[in-house]
Amino acid sequence: MTVQGLGLPMTVAAPSTDGLPTHIRIHEVGARDGLQNEQTTVPTEVKAEFVHRLAEAGLTTIEATSFVHPKWVPQLADAEDLFPLLGDLPAAIALPVLVPNERGLDRALALGARRVAVFASATESFAKANLNRTVDEALAMFDPVVTRAKDDGVHVRGYLSMCFGDPWEGPVPIPQVVRVCRALLDLGCDELSLGDTIGVATPGHVQALLTALNEAGVPTSALGVHFHDTYGQALANTLAALRHGVTTVDASAGGLGGCPYAKSATGNLATEDLVWMLRGLGIDTGVDLGRLTATSVWMARQLGRPSPSRTVRALSHQE
C-alpha cells in the first residue's frame, strides 16, 4: 500500500455553480458510527489517535463516541477513558457525542462534552431494536435530555434513523418521517440529521423528503444528511441534498460504519469520496485529502482489512 499524500491526481475544479452551496460542513462520524460496528473493539489509544489524525486532516466536527449502555454497544464502552484523551485538541474542534437518555447526558457532561446528539427513529421496529422503546417513548426519554442540555448551553443534534427504508418495515412513508422530525425540533434540537440507516435512499426520494419537510415548516438550514452507502447511492443522494440547499453532510473516514441494531446497514458515505466530489465542484471543505486518505489507510491496517472507499483505494493503490 502506498499513499500518494499531497501529490493527488487533479480534477478540474469548476467554480460552484447552479445554486450549489459554496461551503459545506462535514460532520465526521467514523470514530462513532464506524467503530461502533466493528467486530473487534479498537483499543482506546488507537481511537484517540484516529480522532487526532482526523483533526490534523482538517475535519472540525468529529463525533467522538457514545455514552450509551456499554452492553448495547461494547465497542464504545470506553467513552470515559477516550474523551479525556481528546482534551488537548484545539477548542475549534467540535467533539459531539451520542446520548440516549439522562444517564448518558450525565456521563457526557461530567467529562465536559459541549455537543450531544439524541437519536430517534422514524419506525417502531428500529426504535424497539435500538432503544428498547416505542417512537414516542423514545421522544419522551429525549425530552429532559434536550431541555437540560440546552439549559447548560450545550448544542443538541437530533438524529432521525430510517428516514427512507427500514429492514423490517420496508419503505418508510414521508409523513411518518416528517412527524418525528417536527417532534425533535419541537423538543429543542438545534439541528437534525436525516439518516438513511440502511442505505436504500435514491436522489428523487431525498428531494421529496426535503421538500415535504420544508412544507411542514422545517427549514433546510436545520437539516443535515447522513447516508449509508449500501447501494452505492450515497454520493448521488448527497448531491441531491446540496442542490436543495443542505450544507451539513455526515461522512465517515474510509467509509467505516453501520449500525449494530439495523440488519443490512453498511458503511457510511466515505469522507474521502465526499471531499473528492466537492473538490471537483469547487466547494471548499478545508480537508487535506492526502492526510485524510493516509489516516484511513492507517485505520484499515489497525482493523486488518482494506477501506471500502473507492477514493481511498484509488489514491493509495490499496488492494
Task: Point out the residues that are catalytic.
Answer: 259
Task: Answer for the pair 257, 268: CB distance below 8 angstroms, yes or no.
Answer: yes
Q: φ, ψ for residue 160 (rounded to 5)?
A: -130, 115
> Does residue 224 touch ligand HMG according to CB under 6 A?
no
Q: Which one, 197 or 285, has the nearer CB to Mg ion? A: 197
Q: Both ends of the chain: CA-CA distance in Å?
A: 8
> Does residue 68 touch ligand HMG according to CB under 6 A?
yes
Bridge-based pairing state of the strands 170-171 and 165-166: antiparallel
Q: Which one, 154 or 315, has the nearer CB to ligand HMG? A: 154
DSSP-based three-state secondary structure for 5: coil
Binding at 101: pick from Mg ion, ligand HMG, none (beta carbon under 5-8 Å per type): ligand HMG
> Does residue 28 touch Mg ion according to CB under 5 A?
no
- What the block records as the C-alpha cell of 121 is 427513529
Using the contact rule CB under 5 A, the part of the chain among 28-36, 123-131, 140-148, 287-295 near Mg ion is 28-36
Q: Which one, 252 or 318, has the nearer CB to ligand HMG? A: 252
Tell me which of 83, 119, 142, 164 binds ligand HMG, using CB under 6 A: 119
> Does residue 66 touch ligand HMG according to CB under 6 A?
yes
> Does residue 196 touch Mg ion according to CB under 5 A?
no
Instruction: For residue 69, count CB atoms less than 10 angstroms from its CB and return exposed for 0-12, middle for 13-18, buried for 19 or more.
Output: middle
Binding at 67: pick from ligand HMG, Mg ion, none (beta carbon under 5-8 Å per type): ligand HMG
Task: Answer for the pair 256, 225: CB distance below 8 angstroms, yes or no.
Answer: no
CA angle 239/244/247 to nearest 5° reads 70
Tell me which of 34, 96, 104, 255 binds ligand HMG, using CB under 6 A: 104
Residue type, 86: L
Q: Which one, 70 or 282, has the nearer CB to ligand HMG? A: 70
Tell me which of 61, 65, 75, 101 binds ligand HMG, using CB under 6 A: 101
Task: Answer for the pair 304, 46: CB distance below 8 angstroms, yes or no.
Answer: no
> Does residue 261 touch ligand HMG according to CB under 6 A?
yes
Tell me which of 226, 275, 309, 313 binds ligand HMG, using CB under 6 A: 226
Using the contact rule CB under 6 A, the part of the chain among 67-75, 150-158, 233-241, 305-313 near ligand HMG is 67-75
> Does residue 73 touch ligand HMG according to CB under 6 A?
yes
| Beta carbon of residue 231, minimum distance to ligand HMG (angstroms, whole number) | 15
User: Which helix (H) or strand (E) element contains residue 103?
Assistant: helix 102-110
| Beta carbon of residue 288, minimum distance to ligand HMG (angstroms, whole number) | 25
Quote the CA–CA distance of 28 and 285 in Å, as a whole number. Answer: 12
- What the block records as the C-alpha cell of 1 is 500500500
DSSP-based three-state secondary structure for 264: coil
> Does residue 237 touch ligand HMG according to CB under 6 A?
no
Number of residues that bind Mg ion (CB under 5 A): 1
Strands (DSSP E) found in 14-95: 25-28, 61-62, 65-66
Q: What are the C-alpha distances in Å from 297 to residues 32, 37, 109, 256, 268?
A: 18, 18, 33, 12, 16
Binding at 238: pick from ligand HMG, Mg ion, none (beta carbon under 5-8 Å per type): none
Quote the CA–CA distance of 230 and 235 in Å, as a whole number. Answer: 11
- What the block records as the C-alpha cell of 198 is 440502511
Interface residues toward ligand HMG, by CB under 6 A: 33, 36, 66-69, 72-73, 98, 100-101, 103-104, 107, 119, 130-132, 159, 161, 195, 197, 226, 259, 261
Interface residues toward Mg ion, by CB under 5 A: 33
